[in-house]
């Protein structure tokens, strides 16, 4: 009896296993073609279309580029034979000579169940109706619709693509009407948005966004910082408008959670309205917050005594720009000598003087100095030409102060009318790696005063009347230096490893 029951149990177990296997096969049929390579006929057709493609380890096309090719809607039937395609580039399909690429072609794209990345940009024939076909691309994560004929009407179709998280649009708006669609998509990255200042706060309703889809130079009102803070965590540059002026910088407190910031510009105006200097109250609370940012290297504020002092509160500042301002004094400029990490200074020509250069000579960490001057032009009988005119406030004695800078590597001072005597002074700054003068009065004899600059890697003298022969001679003393071409159109630059032509000797 016991043996009979045991045999019966074994029969029932085996029967259940067979039934389970058949049920599973019925519910999830085995894909007998999943391991088959793409056929030679399909590959030949892709070659005929001019496409480029890549194969996976099983010999299946999983990457296809048809960019700018003369492709018609019928040509895209080939996509039905490429079930393993993960990336497809259809940017800028060429529609001349009778070819036509339209929304109808996207029907074949919609059949690609494994498609992850699709580029449809620069196709004016693609409209909102075509995007409806992409609902079948259940794995699509990245879609580029830039410069297509789509608009915000396509957002309904885009919400049906379940995994989409990286989207480039054709400058569609973010506003109260379109916000619900973006909330449904839960995007991580979106580009090509038009966002008015009054709608910037809507980004607070899109918590899945990992970055702010605005140009780096887009000015942001300080009152919007609290809404945008989660999306600014990866930004390194910000231009901020102080809506209440310099008397209230309290909204800058929201920057405290943005440790990656290295370049901040503060303004109390919006372009094209000009900046108007004022002596009103200055609230320093915002600068106290900026002083806590560990990577802040540049802080752009008006060039006034009080702002220089406020900027000096930030110990990590490495770059400053000095422009002319009636509220800037020599005493106020002294503060730059107290900045422990100041490595780069840009100076407008109206500020350059012997006194300023003396102050700069005490900025011991300085590595780069740019003395900006506009191109000096003189009218002659044959037209206009550059002339090496030295301004009155620019003296040899002032230039000598720069020899006191122990780490100066880059000196950019084009169009200052440097002569042989001044060049002799510059030839004593042996730390220089880049020296750009341009439009100078230097002669061949004076040029050789630079031969001791053994660290020099780039010398720019465009606009100077120095012979090519003496520059090759100078190059023998510093063979690792590139000397810009000032004799032709750029093709005669003297570069490392190039011997001087024999006809020059």
Q: Where are the domains of the chain?
A: 38-214, 217-316, 343-377+385-505
Q: Provide the mean pLDDT of the chain.
A: 88
Token pair 């990286």 in the structure block, residue: 166
What secondary structure, in 3-state letters, does 238-286 show? EEEECCCHHHCCHHHHHHHHCCCCCEEEEECCCCCCCCCCCCCCCCCHH
Check pLDDT > 50 for residue 28: no
Angstrom CA distances, 443 to 236, 334, 400, 453, 466, stand at: 45, 36, 20, 18, 6
DSSP state of 447: H
Residue-wise burial string across 23-41, b where 16 or more C-beta atoms lie within 10 A, e elsewhere: eeeeeeeeeeeeeeebeee
Question: What is the per-residue pLDDT for 474?
Answer: 95
Which tokens sit at 492?
A: 């005669």
Span 126-144, pLDDT tens digits? 999 999 999 999 999 999 9
Pick the CATH number of 343-377+385-505 from 3.80.10.10, 3.40.50.10800, 3.90.870.10, 3.40.50.20: 3.80.10.10
What contacts 263, CB < 8 A, 6 or more positions away? Answer: 236, 237, 238, 296, 297, 298, 300
Helix (H, G, I), strand (E, B) or coil at 331: helix
DSSP state of 228: H
Check pLDDT > 80 for residue 7: no
Least reliable range by pLDDT among 154-163, 171-180, 269-278, 329-338: 269-278
Question: What is the per-residue pLDDT for 17?
Answer: 46
What is the model's pTM?
A: 0.78
Question: What is the per-residue pLDDT for 32?
Answer: 46
Domains 38-214 and 343-377+385-505 share a fold: yes
Distance, CA of 415 to CA of 145 (rounded, Å): 47
Mean pLDDT within 471-479: 94
Q: What angle do CA 17, 22, 24 make, to 5 degrees?
A: 95
Mean pLDDT within 213-241: 91
Helix (H, G, I), strand (E, B) or coil at 458: strand
Strand-strand pairing, 263-267 and 482-483:
unpaired
- Is the Cβ–Cβ distance between 132 and 156 less than 8 Å? no
Question: What is the per-residue pLDDT for 401?
Answer: 97
- Is the Cβ–Cβ distance between 487 and 462 less than 8 Å? no
Structure-model confidence comparison of residues 68 and 278, the more confident one: 68
Architecture in CATH for domain 38-214: Alpha-Beta Horseshoe (3.80)
Question: What is the per-residue pLDDT for 277?
Answer: 65
Check pLDDT > 60 for residue 275: yes
Q: How confident is the model at residue 95 (pLDDT cuts 50, 70, 90)?
A: confident
Check pLDDT > 70 for residue 279: no
Q: How confident is the model at residue 31 (pLDDT cuts 50, 70, 90)?
A: very low
Distance, CA of 185 to CA of 167 (rounded, Å): 10
Check pLDDT > 80 for residue 178: yes
320, β-bridge pairs: 345
Q: How confident is the model at residue 21 (pLDDT cuts 50, 70, 90)?
A: very low
Q: How confident is the model at residue 325 (pLDDT cuts 50, 70, 90)?
A: confident
What contacts 143, CB < 8 A, 6 or more positions away? Answer: 118, 120, 134, 158, 161, 164, 166, 167, 168
52, β-bridge pairs: 65
Question: What is the per-residue pLDDT for 331?
Answer: 94
Distance, CA of 55 to CA of 42 (rounded, Å): 13
Question: What is the per-residue pLDDT for 270?
Answer: 64
Distance, CA of 486 to CA of 468 (rounded, Å): 8
Distance, CA of 33 to CA of 425 (rounded, Å): 78
Mean pLDDT within 329-350: 96
Which tokens sit at 202?
A: 């809507």
Helix or strand run (H / E) with residue 207 = none
Check pLDDT > 80 for residue 381: no
Whose CA is closest to 423, among 460, 455, 448, 401? 448
Half-sphere exposure of 187 (CA within 13 A, CB side): 27
Span 407-450, pLDDT tens digits? 999 999 988 989 999 999 999 999 999 999 988 899 999 999 99
Helix or strand run (H / E) with residue 135 = none
């Amino acid at each position: 009896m016991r043996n009979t029951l045991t045999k019966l149990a074994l029969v029932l177990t085996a029967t259940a296993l067979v039934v389970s296997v058949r049920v599973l096969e019925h519910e999830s049929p085995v894909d007998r073609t999943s391991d088959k390579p793409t056929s030679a006929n399909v590959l030949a057709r892709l070659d005929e279309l001019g496409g480029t493609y890549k194969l996976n380890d099983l010999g299946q096309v999983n990457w296809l580029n048809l960019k700018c090719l003369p492709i018609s809607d019928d040509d895209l039937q080939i996509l039905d034979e490429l079930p393993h395609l993960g990336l497809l580039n259809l940017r800028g399909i060429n529609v001349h000579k009778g070819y036509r690429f339209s929304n109808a072609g996207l029907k074949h794209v919609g059949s690609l169940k494994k498609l992850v990345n699709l580029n449809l940009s620069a196709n004016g024939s693609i409209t909102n109706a075509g995007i409806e076909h992409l609902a079948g691309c259940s794995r699509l994560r990245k879609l580029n619709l830039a410069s297509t004929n789509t608009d915000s009407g396509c957002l309904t179709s885009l919400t049906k693509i379940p995994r989409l998280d990286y989207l480039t649009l054709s400058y569609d708006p973010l506003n109260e009407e379109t916000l619900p669609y973006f909330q449904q998509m839960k995007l991580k990255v979106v580009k090509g948005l038009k966002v008015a200042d009054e709608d910037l706060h809507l980004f607070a309703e899109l918590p899945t966004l990992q970055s702010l889809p605005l140009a780096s130079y887009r000015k942001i009102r300080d009152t919007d910082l609290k809404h945008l803070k989660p999306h600014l965590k990866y930004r390194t540059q910000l231009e901020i408008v102080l809506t209440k002026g310099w008397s209230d910088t309290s909204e800058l407190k929201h920057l405290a959670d943005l440790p990656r910031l290295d370049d901040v510009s503060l303004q109390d105006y919006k372009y094209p309205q000009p900046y108007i200097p004022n002596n009103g109250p200055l609230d320093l609370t915002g600068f106290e917050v900026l002083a806590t940012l560990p990577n802040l290297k540049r802080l752009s504020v008006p060039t006034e005594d009080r702002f220089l002092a406020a900027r000096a509160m930030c110990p990590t500042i490495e770059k400053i720009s000095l422009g002319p301002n009636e509220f800037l004094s020599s005493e106020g400029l002294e503060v730059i000598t107290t900045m422990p990490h100041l490595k780069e200074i840009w100076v407008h020509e109206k500020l350059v003087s012997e006194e300023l250069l003396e102050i700069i000579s005490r900025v011991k960490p300085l590595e780069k100095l740019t003395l900006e001057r506009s191109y000096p032009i003189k009218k002659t009988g044959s037209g206009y030409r550059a002339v090496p005119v030295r301004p009155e406030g620019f003296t040899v004695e002032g230039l000598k102060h720069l020899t006191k800078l122990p780490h100066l590597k880059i000196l950019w001072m084009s169009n200052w009318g440097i002569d042989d005597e001044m060049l002799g002074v510059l030839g004593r700054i042996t730390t220089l790696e880049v020296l750009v003068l341009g439009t100078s009065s230097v002669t061949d004899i004076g040029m050789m005063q630079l031969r001791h600059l053994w660290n020099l890697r780039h010398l720019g003298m465009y606009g100077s009347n120095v012979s090519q022969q003496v520059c090759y001679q100078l190059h023998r003393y510093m063979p690792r230096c590139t000397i810009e071409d000032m004799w032709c159109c750029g093709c005669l630059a003297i570069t490392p490893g190039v011997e001087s032509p024999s006809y020059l000797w």
